[in-house]
């Protein structure tokens, strides 16, 4: 078991990694803001901005290296904007310009300035990082009450065929908010598809907040917000692999989860969701953890 100091340091490193876009040396200072209908919806790195002038019917670039990028005003509807971006992305895929597009999902995300705003267009999921578009998802912490009054958490292992983070540890169920789907609707769908949790159980999940962070890697910029739910799984219900996205499930004591989130096996954003659970349920608290406040801030950092 990791010592208190080394565990805390590992958590801080995880939070730094998941908020790397805010760190010194990131591409943030060289990005152009992306506007649609007068509202900022993303950030464009120079390597992407360099190709946008090839599509004057779609993008308008203001002068200067840091000038904003705007979708042309003539693209005035959700459908027109979505189709125009799709044509650009199809061309980029044909040219094999960006590695992230090799992970094409045929799943679209709605694009809006804030979650409460009406969507302005939809965009292929694998392309969101090219434009620094904020994306949303749902993560479910599954837990079971033990006979001694304690808790254990259900942890899943991702299938080795997953295009991202294959074979790594995950929450009970999780998924991005596809265009047109609601939060609770997505939760119920993911619980059924990934863990064979029936709707009558999944619908009992309790909304407990969100986790937000922004990181960048070779694929692009990832501003993400995960809506977090806690689901008490009955003691006689064992999650089962359903659609092949998960390999198996484990029921772990919370102390084992605490150690695992700083290891190399946990999918990083799922580790943040599990950490949030441990904080809310008092496994990590302000009296016993000197960096408690830094943990809280790192779990709720906006772009």
Task: Kindly state the tokens that stand for 96.
Answer: 């094999």
- Residues 33-48 have a mean pLDDT of 98
b/e per residue 212-241 (b: at least 16 CB within 10 A): bbbbbeebbbbbbbbbbbbbebeeeeebeb
> Which of 130, 154, 184 represents a domain boundary (last residue)?
130
The β-bridge relationship of strands 59-61 and 220-232 is unpaired
pLDDT in tens, 108-131: 999 999 999 999 999 999 999 999
Residues 65 and 14 in one domain: no
pTM for the full predicted model: 0.95
The β-bridge relationship of strands 173-176 and 135-145 is antiparallel
pLDDT of residue 24: 94
Residues 235 and 98 in one domain: no
Round the average pLDDT of the chain to a whole number and report it: 96
Residues 165 and 69 in one domain: no
- Report the CATH number that the domain containing residue 275 is assigned in CATH: 3.90.79.10
pLDDT in tens, 193-202: 999 999 999 9
Q: Whats the size of the chain, residue-wise?
A: 303
The β-bridge relationship of strands 151-158 and 135-145 is antiparallel
Strand partners, 155: 250
Residues 177 and 276 in one domain: yes
Alpha helices in 53-163 (DSSP H): 78-95
- Residues 36-45 have a mean pLDDT of 98
Residues 156 and 92 in one domain: no
Residues 86 and 186 in one domain: no
Q: Tell me the CA distances in angstroms from 49 to 67, 69, 70, 125, 189, one per residue in order.
A: 10, 8, 11, 19, 36
- Report the CATH number that the domain containing residue 53 is assigned in CATH: 3.30.750.160
pLDDT of residue 185: 98
Alpha helices in the chain (DSSP H): 4-18, 46-52, 78-95, 183-195, 199-202, 254-260, 268-280, 292-299
Long-range contacts of 47-54 (CB under 8 A, 24+ apart): 48/98, 48/130, 48/131, 48/220, 51/92, 51/97
Residues 183 and 256 in one domain: yes
> Which of 110, 130, 150 represents a domain boundary (last residue)?
130
Task: Kindly state the tokens that stand for 177.
Answer: 């908010």
> Which of 105, 130, 155 represents a domain boundary (last residue)?
130
Q: Are 221 and 132 in contact (CB under 8 A)?
A: yes
pLDDT of residue 303: 81
Q: Tell me the CA distances in angstroms from 197 to 54, 144, 264, 286, one per residue in order.
A: 48, 14, 28, 34
Residues 55 and 196 in one domain: no
Q: Are 165 and 274 in contact (CB under 8 A)?
A: no
- Residues 73-96 have a mean pLDDT of 98
Residues 145 and 266 in one domain: yes
Residues 161 and 72 in one domain: no
Q: Tell me the CA distances in angstroms from 30 to 36, 176, 219, one per residue in order.
A: 20, 28, 16
**Nearest-angstrom CA–CA distance, 193 and 187:** 10
pLDDT band per the 50, 70, 90 thresholds, residue 244: confident
Which residues form the domain of 64? 31-130
Q: Are 111 and 121 in contact (CB under 8 A)?
A: yes
Residues 121 and 148 in one domain: no
pLDDT of residue 4: 65
Residue 1 has pLDDT above 70, yes or no: no
Domain total for the chain? Answer: 2
pLDDT band per the 50, 70, 90 thresholds, residue 163: confident
Residue 213 has pLDDT above 60, yes or no: yes
Residues 146 and 230 in one domain: yes
């Amino acid at each position: 078991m990791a010592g208190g100091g080394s565990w805390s340091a590992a958590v801080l490193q995880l939070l730094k990694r998941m908020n790397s876009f805010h760190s010194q040396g990131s591409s943030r200072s060289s990005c152009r803001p992306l506007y649609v209908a007068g509202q900022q919806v993303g950030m464009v790195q120079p390597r992407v901005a360099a190709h946008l002038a090839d599509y004057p019917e779609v993008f308008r670039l203001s002068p200067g290296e840091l000038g904003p990028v705007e979708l042309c005003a003539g693209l005035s509807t959700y459908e027109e904007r979505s189709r125009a971006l799709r044509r650009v992305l199809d061309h980029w895929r044909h040219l094999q310009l960006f590695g992230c597009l090799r992970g094409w999902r045929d799943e679209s995300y709605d694009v809006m300035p804030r979650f409460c705003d009406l969507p302005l267009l939809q965009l292929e999921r694998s392309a969101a990082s090219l434009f620094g578009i904020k994306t949303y998802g749902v993560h479910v912490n599954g837990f079971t009450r033990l006979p001694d009054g304690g808790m254990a958490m259900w942890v899943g292992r991702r299938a080795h065929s997953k295009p991202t983070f294959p074979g790594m540890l995950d929450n009970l169920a999780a998924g991005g908010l596809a265009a047109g789907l609601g939060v609770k609707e997505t939760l119920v769908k993911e619980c059924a598809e990934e863990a064979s949790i029936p709707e009558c159980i999944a619908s009992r999940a309790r909304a407990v907040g969100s986790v937000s962070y922004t990181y960048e890697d070779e694929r692009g910029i990832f501003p993400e917000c995960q809506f977090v739910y806690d689901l008490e799984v009955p003691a006689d219900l064992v999650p089962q692999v359903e659609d092949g996205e998960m390999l198996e499930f484990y029921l772990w004591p919370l102390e084992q989860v605490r150690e695992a989130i700083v290891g190399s096996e946990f999918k990083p954003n799922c580790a943040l969701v599990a950490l949030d659970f441990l904080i809310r349920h008092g496994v990590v608290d302000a009296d016993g953890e000197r960096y408690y406040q830094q943990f809280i801030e790192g779990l709720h950092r906006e772009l």
